């Protein structure tokens, strides 16, 4: 008797585990899912609209909206950490990824990329204002701790160009800034536009007078091999946006929204 | 607002620079609602599997005991964050949930995997709570029940479990308090709970620390009174013990 009950209970447990979710999605595809990491003003961030609803805004969001529009699809934003984006793309949780992504060899192995749509300022080094004078060349960072975002080209930059510096890789830019402000690292490397925004919003921080070479353009990532045949349409949209100068308009809009969000 | 002048000369990275508050309060309100829903639903869903696991754990059949033991060991000995990743990308990579928003701010395609992961994890801990609660009931109770002619399951259901509940309830409530804090891990997958709200406000407003401090204050304001209430209930339930 006891054995029978135990077995039934065991079977029930298995059923409970299997039954945890049985809803599956239908086939129609009228929405296009944008994977992004909305913690990166002015490229992608979240603000409140007039009605107090949360809204994704930024340069990348505007570009993605145009891409979806041109496909006759509705854009749906899926927000996650930057280092989860490529996994989400491969898993099929996102159809396109725009997150200020530069094309690298490693990323080409995980995804296919569109033509470039925007070129930011080159990466910049952010340091404490009172120590900014100490840093005039890359050699001055030898023996110092330099922070960068995990899985970004900025992290590679620290490894490759900051000889003798110790890389501190963190997931969010926000944490990197905290580490800098509270003297846990000596400098952080960020995308140019982002570094300038932080320097502008925080009087303790300054962009160091150090050149970091060329800026790489940002591209749209799609699933490897482009099984949904999205790239043709995406590239057409990008070509149109670039030739009309629309991306600069998006950038100006995003900067204005960001300034307003800070108050 | 008059008090926003207080923050005028504060660094954006100051712990107490709450100048974002009037405008971004809604992120925290939504965050609290999401966090509470996430943790309450998770613990509630964990109760039945946990009871099953606990009874299996106490079974005389070695296979059944082993199965339950393996489940509990697996979930208690690995980080919740990894479990969350495996369930979100693995299990719910196979079972696709279409993205749709309920109650105005809960995206079910994230909420359901989150609840599943927390519930599976929690059921391992709650199972141990149940097991300890059942074992704490004196063996004489079962013996008396059996000698009165009750079957094994009947004496468990009618005699042991009702007494075990007294031991179990406070511990279960504590598990809920723990879950309110633990559920913050779901922010890494974009579930818009309290820590996610703080993170979003921090990045949008460049106030890089104070939103987290506010979130901590809110967690405290929820968990401290809850803990006190549990203590009070525990004291009340112990009254009958003094013999």
pLDDT in tens, A149-172: 988 889 999 999 999 999 999 988
* Inter-chain CB proximity A46 and B200 less than 8 Å: yes
d(CA B239, CA B234): 9
Mutation pick from A3, A6, A58, A172 vs chain B, by most beta carbons of B within 10 Å, is A6
Q: What is the pLDDT of residue A8?
A: 55
pLDDT interval class at B102 (50, 70, 90) = confident
Tokens of A19: 């039954």
Task: Please compute the mean of the pLDDT values over residues A126-154 and round it to a whole number.
Answer: 92
The predicted pLDDT at position B242 comes to 59
- Are B206 and A16 a contacting pair at CB < 8 A? no
Joined tokens for residue A230? 């999205």
Tell me how far apart the alpha carbons of residues A244 and A248 are, in angstroms, rounded to a whole number.
9
Q: How do residues B17-63 score in pLDDT, each as one tens digit? A: 888 888 899 999 999 999 999 999 999 999 999 999 999 999 989 99
Contact A204 B13 (CB under 8 A): yes
Residue intervals of chain A classified under CATH 3.40.190.10 are: 30-119+216-262, 124-207
For residue A207, the cross-strand partners are A126
The residue to which tokens 């989150």 are assigned: B114
Mutation target for A interface from B203, B210, B213: give the one with most A CBs within 10 A: B203
Residue A128 vs residues A198, A204, B163, B173: alpha-carbon distances, Å: 11, 6, 62, 46
CATH architecture of A30-119+216-262: 3-Layer(aba) Sandwich (3.40)
Facing A6 at nearest CB: one of B23, B61, B116: B61
Instruction: Please give the CATH topology (third level) of the domain spanning A124-207.
Output: D-Maltodextrin-Binding Protein; domain 2 (3.40.190)
The model carries a pTM of 0.81
pLDDT band at B243 (very low <50, low <70, confident <90, very high): low
State the Cα–Cα distance between residues A82 and B107, nearest whole angstrom.
19
Chain A residue numbers touching B153 (CB-CB < 8 A) = 1, 5
Q: What number is the average pLDDT over the span A228-239?
A: 95
Point out the residue among A13, A79, A174 whose CB comes nearest to the CB of B49.
A13
pLDDT band at B12 (very low <50, low <70, confident <90, very high): confident
* Interchain pair A81, B188: CB under 8 A: yes
With CA atoms as reference, the chain B residue closest to A89 would be: B89
Which of A84-93, A107-116, A125-134, A220-229 is predicted least confidently? A84-93
Q: How far apart are CA A40 and CA A174, in angstroms?
A: 9
Q: What is the pLDDT of residues A244-258, one digit of tens each?
A: 999 999 999 999 998
Domains and CATH numbers, chain B: 2-237 (1.10.3720.10)
pLDDT tens by residue, A85-101: 988 898 888 999 999 99
pLDDT confidence tier of residue B13, bands split at 50, 70 and 90: confident
């Amino acid at each position: 008797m006891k054995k029978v009950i135990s077995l039934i209970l065991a079977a029930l447990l298995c059923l409970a585990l299997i039954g945890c979710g049985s809803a599956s999605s239908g086939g129609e595809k009228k929405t296009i899912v944008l994977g992004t990491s909305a913690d990166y003003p002015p490229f992608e961030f979240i603000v409140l609209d007039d009605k107090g609803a949360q809204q994704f805004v930024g340069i990348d969001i505007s570009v993605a909206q145009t891409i979806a529009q041109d496909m006759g699809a509705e854009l749906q934003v899926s927000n996650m950490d930057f280092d989860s984006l490529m996994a989400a793309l491969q898993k099929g949780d996102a159809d396109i990824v725009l997150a200020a992504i530069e094309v690298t060899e490693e990323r080409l192995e995980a995804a296919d990329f569109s033509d470039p749509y925007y070129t930011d300022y080159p990466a910049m080094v952010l340091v404490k204002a009172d120590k900014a004078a100490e840093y005039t060349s890359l050699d001055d960072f030898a023996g110092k701790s330099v922070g960068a975002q995990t899985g970004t080209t900025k992290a590679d930059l620290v490894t490759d160009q900051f000889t003798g510096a110790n890389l501190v890789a963190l997931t969010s830019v926000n944490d990197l800034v905290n580490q800098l402000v509270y003297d846990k690292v000596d400098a952080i490397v960020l995308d140019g536009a982002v570094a300038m925004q932080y320097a502008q919003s925080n009087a303790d921080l300054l962009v160091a007078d150090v050149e970091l070479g060329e800026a790489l353009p940002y591209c749209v990532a799609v699933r490897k091999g482009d099984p949904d045949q999205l790239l043709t349409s995406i590239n057409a949209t990008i070509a149109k946006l670039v030739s009309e100068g629309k991306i600069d308009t998006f950038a100006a809009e995003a900067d204005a929204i960001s300034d307003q969000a800070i108050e | 607002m008059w008090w926003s002048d207080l923050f005028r000369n504060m660094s954006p990275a100051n712990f107490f620079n709450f100048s974002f508050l009037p405008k971004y309060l809604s992120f925290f309100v939504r965050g609290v609602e999401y966090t509470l829903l996430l943790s309450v639903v998770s613990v509630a869903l964990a109760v039945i599997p946990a009871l099953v696991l606990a009874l299996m754990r106490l079974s005389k059949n070695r296979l059944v005991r082993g199965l339950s033991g393996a489940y509990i060991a697996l979930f208690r000995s690995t980080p919740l964050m990894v479990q969350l990743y495996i369930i979100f990308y693995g299990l719910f990579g196979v079972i696709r949930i279409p993205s749709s928003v309920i109650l105005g701010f809960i995206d079910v395609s994230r909420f359901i995997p989150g609840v599943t992961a927390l519930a599976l994890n929690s059921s391992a801990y709650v199972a141990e709570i149940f097991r300890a609660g059942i074992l704490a009931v004196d063996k004489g109770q079962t013996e008396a029940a059996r000698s009165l002619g009750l079957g094994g399951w009947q004496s468990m259901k009618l005699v042991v479990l009702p007494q075990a509940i007294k031991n179990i309830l406070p511990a279960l409530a504590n598990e809920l308090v723990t879950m309110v804090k633990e559920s913050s891990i779901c922010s890494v997958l974009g579930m818009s709970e309290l820590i996610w709200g703080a993170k979003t406000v921090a990045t949008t407003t460049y106030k890089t620390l104070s939103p987290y401090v506010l979130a901590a204050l809110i967690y405290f304001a929820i968990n401290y009174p809850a803990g006190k209430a549990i203590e009070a209930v525990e004291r009340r339930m112990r009254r009958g013990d003094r013999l």
